[in-house]
Amino acid sequence: MPTYDYKCSECGHLFETMQSMKDAPLTTCPNCGKETLNRLIGAGGGMIFKGSGFYLTDYKGGSGSGSSSSAPSPKSDAKPAAPAAGSSAEKT
């Protein structure tokens, strides 16, 4: 269930509560009893990654050696980089 922040515009009471997403927003302040609550926009909890890491090999089945024979190998037939414009090799 998500946590929502509320602030009373009358007395300034600030609090958070856990509610279902289907529940209607609260309207009555628990501090002063007036119906002047506003739901605040929050950043949320964010993701938390725990563990040794999240790598491609963490989810592969098999021997567990960490290397995979199906991994693509770097291509050796790549074209060499073009010389920079105005280099001394182009001057005649």
Residue 27 contacts by C-beta under 8 Å, 6 or more apart in sequence?
35, 37
In terms of pLDDT, which residue wins out, 88 or 1? 1
pLDDT digits 0-9 by tens, 47-89 = 777 776 666 666 666 555 544 455 555 565 656 666 666 555 5
SS (H, E, C) 67-88: CCCCCCCCCCCCCCCCCCCCCC
Query: What is the Cα–Cα distance from 22 to 17, expressed in whole angstroms?
Result: 14
Q: Does the model's pTM come out above 0.75?
A: no
The residue type at 38: N
pLDDT digits 0-9 by tens, 6-50 = 999 999 999 999 998 899 999 999 999 999 999 998 766 677 777
C-alpha distances in angstroms, 84 versus 35, 53, 79, 91?
70, 40, 15, 12
Which tokens go with 24? 């209607």
Instruction: Give the pLDDT of residue 35.
Output: 95
Residue in 47, 43, 42 with CA at minimum distance from that of residue 5: 42
